[in-house]
C-alpha cells in the first residue's frame, strides 16, 4: 500500500519521538526527509540518538510518537514491505559465530522471503572480498572481515535503502577505502545510503547531504557543499618579513591575530560576506610599513563547522525537561529493549 510522498523522497520521518522505558527521551520531534539515491551522513556526538533513529526506521525499536514512511510504506502498518526495502548494517556486530559466511548470508536473504539467488550472493561476497572466506566460520574471521559479513548480510536481500551505522569504526584505512568505493558503487546502482559516522572526513568525502543530530533533535540538514560554503569561514595568513611584538594600533578592530612568534598575521573573514576586506587590510598594512613575504588562505573544515554546531546546541537553553544526566556519552544500556519478534 503506497502512501503519499513526493517522488524523490524515499524516507519521510515526521514528528518522531522516542522515550525509552527508563524515561530517557532519546528523540524529540524529529522531521527528516531522505532523497532517493542520495548518500546522507548523520553526524552527532555519542548518545545524540543516531542509532535510536535508525533503529526506529528499521523497525527494531518502537517509536513513542510520530510516523515514518519508508519507500512509501508506513513502518508500523506496513511493516514487512517497509522492512524489505531496507538493509541495515548495525553498529554492534552480532552474528552466529559458528555459522559459515555463506550460510549466514544465505539465511539473511531467506529471512526477507526472497527466493535463493546464489549468483547475487556470490557477487556480494566478491564485492566485499569475502569470497575466499565463504566457507569459514564467522568466529574465525578478523574484526574487519566480520564487519564485511554484516554488510553482506544487509545486502543479501537487495535493499534499495541501506543504513550503515558507523560502518568504518575501528577498521583499517584500506577497508575504509574499500567501504567508500562499495558505497559509491551502490549509489550508482540507485541505492539510497544513510550512514552515521564520527569521522568527519568520511562525511566530507562521501555525503551529498549532511544532517546533524544533538540530544535527540535534528539541528541541521544541508547539502554538504552549501554547508561548507555557508558556514565556512576563511582565513588569510600573512607571513611577515620581520616579527611584530603586537598588532599595531592602526590595525585594531580588524579581526586580526598575531602568532606567538610574531611572524604570522591571521585574518579571519566570512567567505560569503559582502567583500572580504582583504584589499583594505593589505592597503593598511602598506601604510603601516608592514611587509610580508607570503600569503595563503584556508577554509574551515567540516569538522570545525560540526564542533561549532554541536557546541551551539549545547549552549541553547534546554527546550524540554529531560531527566537524563548531562553526560550523554555514558550510555546506560545497549539498544536491546523492545525488539520485534
Ligand X SMILES: Nc1ncnc2c1ncn2[C@@H]1O[C@H](COP(=O)(O)OP(=O)(O)OP(=O)(O)O)[C@@H](O)[C@H]1O
Residues in region 80-109 near Mg ion by CB under 5 A: 91
* Under rule CB under 6 A, residue 287 binds ligand X: no
Pairing of strands 86-89, 161-165: parallel
Which one among 24, 43, 47, 51 touches Mg ion, defined by CB under 5 A? 51
* Under rule CB under 6 A, residue 132 binds ligand X: no
* Under rule CB under 5 A, residue 52 binds Mg ion: no
* Under rule CB under 6 A, residue 49 binds ligand X: yes
- The CA distance from 341 to 59, in Å, is 11
Residue located via cell numbers 527508563? 22
The residue (of 51 and 160) whose beta carbon lies closer to ligand X is 51
Tally of CA atoms within 13 A in the half-sphere of 226 that contains its CB: 8
Q: Which helix (H) or strand (E) segment is 212 a member of? A: strand 209-214
* Under rule CB under 6 A, residue 46 binds ligand X: yes
- Total length of the chain: 341
The residue (of 42 and 220) whose beta carbon lies closer to Mg ion is 42
User: Residues with Cβ < 8 Å from 102, sequence gap 6 or more?
Assistant: 121, 125, 134, 135
Distance in Å, CB of 2 to ligand X, minimum: 29
Binding piece for Mg ion, criterion CB under 5 A, among 6-14, 47-55, 152-160, 225-233: 47-55
* Under rule CB under 5 A, residue 214 binds Mg ion: no
* Under rule CB under 6 A, residue 44 binds ligand X: yes
Write the DSSP symbol of residue 263: -
The residue (of 12 and 91) whose beta carbon lies closer to Mg ion is 91
Burial of 39 (0-12, 13-18, 19+ CB in 10 A): buried
Which one among 140, 172, 332, 339 touches ligand X, defined by CB under 6 A? 332
- The CA distance from 64 to 306, in Å, is 28
# chain residues binding ligand X, by CB under 6 A:
20
Residue 334 phi/psi, 5-degree rounding, is -70, 165
Is the separation of the CB atoms in 296 and 235 below 8 Å?
no
Q: Whose CA is closest to 51, among 341, 337, 340?
A: 337
Distance in Å, CB of 85 to ligand X, minimum: 22
Distance in Å, CB of 54 to ligand X, minimum: 8
* Under rule CB under 6 A, residue 20 binds ligand X: yes
Which one among 52, 84, 168, 214 touches ligand X, defined by CB under 6 A? 52
Output the nine-digit C-alpha cell for 260.
Answer: 606567538
Tell me which residues touch ligand X (CB under 6 A). Answer: 20, 22, 24, 26, 44, 46-52, 91, 328, 331-333, 335-337
Tell me which residues touch Mg ion (CB under 5 A). Answer: 50-51, 91
Amino acid at each position: 500500500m503506497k502512501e503519499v510522498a513526493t517522488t524523490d523522497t524515499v524516507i519521510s520521518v515526521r514528528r518522531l519521538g522516542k522515550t525509552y522505558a527508563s524515561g530517557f527521551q532519546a528523540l524529540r520531534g524529529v522531521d527528516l526527509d531522505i532523497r532517493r539515491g542520495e548518500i546522507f551522513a548523520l553526524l552527532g556526538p555519542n548518545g545524540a540518538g543516531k542509532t535510536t533513529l535508525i533503529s526506529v526506521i528499521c523497525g527494531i525499536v518502537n517509536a513513542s510518537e510520530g510516523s515514518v514512511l519508508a519507500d512509501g510504506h508506513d513502518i508500523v502498518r506496513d511493516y514487512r514491505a517497509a522492512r524489505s526495502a531496507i538493509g541495515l548494517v548495525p553498529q554492534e556486530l552480532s552474528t552466529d559465530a559458528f555459522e559459515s559466511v555463506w550460510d549466514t548470508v544465505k539465511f539473511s536473504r531467506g529471512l526477507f522471503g526472497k527466493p535463493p539467488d546464489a549468483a547475487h550472493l556470490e557477487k556480494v561476497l566478491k564485492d566485499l572480498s569475502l569470497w575466499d572466506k565463504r566457507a569459514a566460520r564467522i568466529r574465525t574471521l578478523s574484526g574487519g572481515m566480520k564487519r564485511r559479513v554484516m554488510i553482506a548480510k544487509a545486502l543479501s536481500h537487495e535493499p534499495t535503502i541501506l543504513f550503515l551505522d558507523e560502518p568504518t569504526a575501528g577498521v583499517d584505512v584500506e577497508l575504509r577505502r574499500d567501504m567508500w568505493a562499495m558505497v559509491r558503487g551502490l549509489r550508482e546502482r540507485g541505492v539510497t545510503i544513510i550512514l552515521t559516522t564520527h569521522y568527519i572526513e568520511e562525511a566530507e568525502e562521501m555525503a551529498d547531504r549532511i544532517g546533524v543530530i544533538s540530544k535527540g533533535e535534528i539541528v541541521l540538514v544541508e547539502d554538504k557543499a552549501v554547508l561548507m560554503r555557508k558556514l565556512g569561514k576563511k582565513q588569510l595568513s600573512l607571513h611577515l618579513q620581520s616579527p611584530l611584538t603586537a598588532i599595531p594600533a592602526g590595525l585594531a578592530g580588524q579581526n586580526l591575530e598575531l602568532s606567538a612568534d610574531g611572524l604570522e598575521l591571521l585574518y579571519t573573514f566570512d567567505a560569503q560576506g559582502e567583500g572580504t576586506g582583504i584589499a583594505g587590510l593589505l592597503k593598511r598594512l602598506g601604510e603601516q610599513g608592514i611587509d610580508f613575504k607570503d600569503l595563503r588562505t584556508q577554509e574551515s573544515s567540516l569538522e570545525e563547522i560540526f564542533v561549532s554546531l554541536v557546541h551551539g546546541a549545547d549552549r541553547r537553553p534546554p527546550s524540554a525537561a529531560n531527566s537524563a544526566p548531562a553526560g550523554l556519552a555514558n550510555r546506560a544500556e545497549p539498544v536491546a529493549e523492545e525488539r520485534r519478534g
